[in-house]
Structure 1
Amino acid sequence: MKPWLGQEETEALADVVRSGCLTQGRKVREFESTFAAAQGVRFAVATSSCTTALHLALVVAGIGPGDEVVVPSLSAIATANAVTYVGARPVFCDIDPATGNVTAETVHAALTLDTRAVIVVDQAGVPVDLDSIRDLCNRHEITVIEDAACAAGSLYRGRPVGVGADVAVWSFHPDHILTTGEGGMLTTRRADWAARARALRGHSSNLALVDKDLSVPPREVCLEVGFDYQMTDLQAAIGICQLRRLPEMVERRRRIAGIYAGALSGLKGLRFVTDPPYGTTNFQSLWVEVLPDFPATREALLGELAEAGVTARRGPYAVHRQPAYRWRDTGNARLQYSERLSDRTLVLPVFHELDTASINRVINAIRNTAHRVGM
């Protein structure tokens, strides 16, 4: 991954520096409003990272000690970590091997009497099939949180992902399609949750909610124990520029993914992630499953790509296998597909400025591996 940054971001940063207001201020408010409009939601709250946004989402949803939260095992470990931050217990569920996402069936298998929330993830930007999960959770009065860290620009049934969740969170890490260097966002249609998240990110100080340009600010009052999860105006300035480029970035990544899939379609034993029937992916990551009938193992293919000067990496890992979660609470769920994709997938280079020669180098390295090892 390589972020697409240019002169526009440079000038936006210089403007903020000249303004003298570097911390959370006007640019953050502008980024929040433009992001909310782009995603079709009422409220957006900028944060220091997606993990801190997810932590705030759980807090405002009232999740705490004694509660259980269903999460996919095939995800960044931050998804489960945020649950532990509030004293709740993550319960891992399996995924659909075609999309890498949870389904209503895999979520249902992990539900218990103590389940208070479900976190669904748009894995690698592939939209999760949210409607059936919402139906299930609504029947049991369970909050649905969408971890859309990778999914800016992805669509679910013609609308931006995240709209149908009670609350959604987003990442602007440099590995993701839209970056602010570091940073995150919480979006929700609930005014009370948005207001509390805004307060909590700034130590719950009333000063975090007032205009910094006031000549005489009010006396500071902190109503509850809060956090230091604020975004800077420097980050927000980059984000505003990036958001304008988002449609172009998504279109370019989809074109590159199509080139890879078309050029390698004749090779037996490789399965490329594709659009699900209910939506379109931004191809934040292009993961490929190396099936048993491919001539080389995933590890061997990664080695061959490295020898050819191609930086690829393993796909998402199964969190329930990590030492931090060795107790492996899965309810009654089996995690066979999470383990399968964890063991078999790799991620190919796909970023806006990837040129034709580089794309062909990747394609040729994979073809050469298949032909040489398969002989």
Structure 2
Amino acid sequence: MIPIIKPLMDEAEANAAARVILSGWVTQGPEVAAFEKDFAAYTGAAHATAVSNCTTGLHLALLVAGVKAGDEVITVSHSYIATANSILYCGAKPVFVDVDADTMNMDPALIEAAITPKTKAILVVHQIGMPADMARIMPIARQHGLKVIEDAACAVGAELLWDGEWQKVGRVWGDVAVFSFHPRKIVSTGDGGMITTPHADWDAQFRLLRQHGMSVPDTVRHKANTVIFEEHPIMGYNYRMTDIQAAVGREQLKRLPGVVARRREIADRYRERLADAQWLGMPAEPAWARSNWQSFSVRLPDQADQREVMQAMLDKGISTRRGIMCAHREKVYSGSPLHAPLQNSEISQDKRIILPLYVQMTDADIDAVTDGLKKATK
């Protein structure tokens, strides 16, 4: 079986976890602090805060951005449901706009018409590792005084050309970016997330909120020479990362440059091997973007049945996944406002499939996938 993805881990991650376990400090502590520092350095971010997963990170980002009950947040339906759920957690409403057919990212041309007096923020998704068009999105947001949250769940290691310089996703072109370390992502800590921001005051609030609103962190109390009684001045959450996860994450981060380079090689190989299959639509990478290729999504011909193609691939021992889901099709969002039809979003869910992509893939694996796809769709 050729799986959809394989996390790249070995004795380095196992030894890092064992070291923390044997240290006696396994929850949020010195390893989390070190991981935050390493991650900020890698992305070029001013501040980084580790959390339990990307969804909790998005929740905190929206809360600190001031999103509350009755507000609206412009976002895309074409994303994992956690994106829209994080808005609902705040009591706000997601306002869905369509995506660009080629990049599957938010179409900037649709944003302005979706803005109302209730709009508080724009939640942009860097979909499956492809950077969104921030150069077009940010001027609209700033003109209308809107906060911008970047859902970078899949995008660690991706880059965007900004003011003539290649910058990594997470340096933050908006106000905050949030990452996922789920096993489907190219940096994994089992589960976990990271928030980056240029705002020191936002970072301080993230740290307070992730630990029950506790005024004194465990690490400070542990090192104190006098007795400290903590306070809880605000309602917070248990959104902490463990030191075990952080130790694994630090090892994963060391691998990241090589992992991204190899994934880009595999994506090039896919395009090369599928060049003669003109009935398939290839994912587009704009000149100003460098994807980490967290996923490689191809557009099926109109006459092809998505499920039948995926089953034919599975019968050959090749795992695939359907196109990214659309939250507005789920019952919980059936009444959410849609700003114009979401045609490209729905087509991307119904007519695309995601191919296997992981560092350990061989050329023979890639050839098996592409040959199987051609036979299943021609």
Q: Please list, as runs of the form range in 1=range in 2, the aligned pairs for 1:220-259 lying within 5 A after superposition.
A: 220-259=230-269
1:233 to partner: Cα distance: 0.3
Distance in 1 between the 2:215 and 2:185 partners? 32
Distance in 1 between the 2:357 and 2:246 partners? 25
Distance in 1 between the 2:116 and 2:264 partners? 39
CA contact (8 A) 1:126 1:276 kept: no
Give the structure 2 partner of residue 311 of structure 1: 319
1:216 to partner: Cα distance: 3.8
Name the SS of the counterpart of 1:272 in structure 2: coil
Scaled by the length of structure 2, the TM-score of the pair is 0.95
Q: What is the aligned counterpart of 1:159 among 156, 167, 170?
A: 167
Give the structure 2 partner of residue 69 of structure 1: 73
Distance in 1 between the 2:193 and 2:227 partners? 27
Q: Please list, as runs of the form range in 1=range in 2, the aligned pairs for 1:254-333 lying within 5 A after superposition.
A: 254-292=264-302, 296-330=304-338, 332-333=339-340
1:202 to partner: Cα distance: 0.3
Distance in 1 between the 2:124 and 2:90 partners? 18
Give the structure 1 partner of residue 216 of structure 2: 207
Give the structure 1 partner of residue 42 of structure 2: 38
Name the SS of the counterpart of 2:217 in structure 1: helix
1:190 to partner: Cα distance: 0.5
Scaled by the length of structure 1, the TM-score of the pair is 0.95
* More deviation, 223-232/354-363: 354-363
Give the structure 2 partner of residue 122 of structure 1: 126
1:302 to partner: Cα distance: 0.6
Give the structure 2 partner of residue 172 of structure 1: 181
CA contact (8 A) 2:189 2:249 kept: yes
Q: What is the aligned counterpart of 1:341 among 339, 343, 348?
A: 348
Give the structure 2 partner of residue 150 of structure 1: 154
**Amino acid paired to 1:290:** L
Distance in 2 between the 1:233 and 1:209 partners? 13
Distance in 1 between the 2:290 and 2:242 partners? 31
Could you say if the C-alpha distance between residues 187 and 115 of structure 1 is closer, same or farther in structure 2, counting changes exceeding 3 Å? same
Alignment coverage as a number of residue pairs = 368
**Amino acid paired to 1:173:** H
Residue identity over aligned pairs, in percent, reads 41
CA contact (8 A) 1:315 1:342 kept: yes
- 5+ unaligned residues in a row in structure 1: which ranges? none
1:86 partnered with 2:93: no
1:359 to partner: Cα distance: 1.7
Q: What is the aligned counterpart of 1:356 among 325, 338, 363?
A: 363
1:344 to partner: Cα distance: 0.6
1:247 to partner: Cα distance: 0.7
CA contact (8 A) 1:109 1:333 kept: no
Distance in 1 between the 2:22 and 2:74 partners? 46
1:333 to partner: Cα distance: 2.5
1:145 to partner: Cα distance: 0.4
1:110 to partner: Cα distance: 2.0
Give the structure 2 partner of residue 141 of structure 1: 145
1:50 partnered with 2:59: no
Q: What is the aligned counterpart of 1:14 among 13, 18, 22?
A: 18
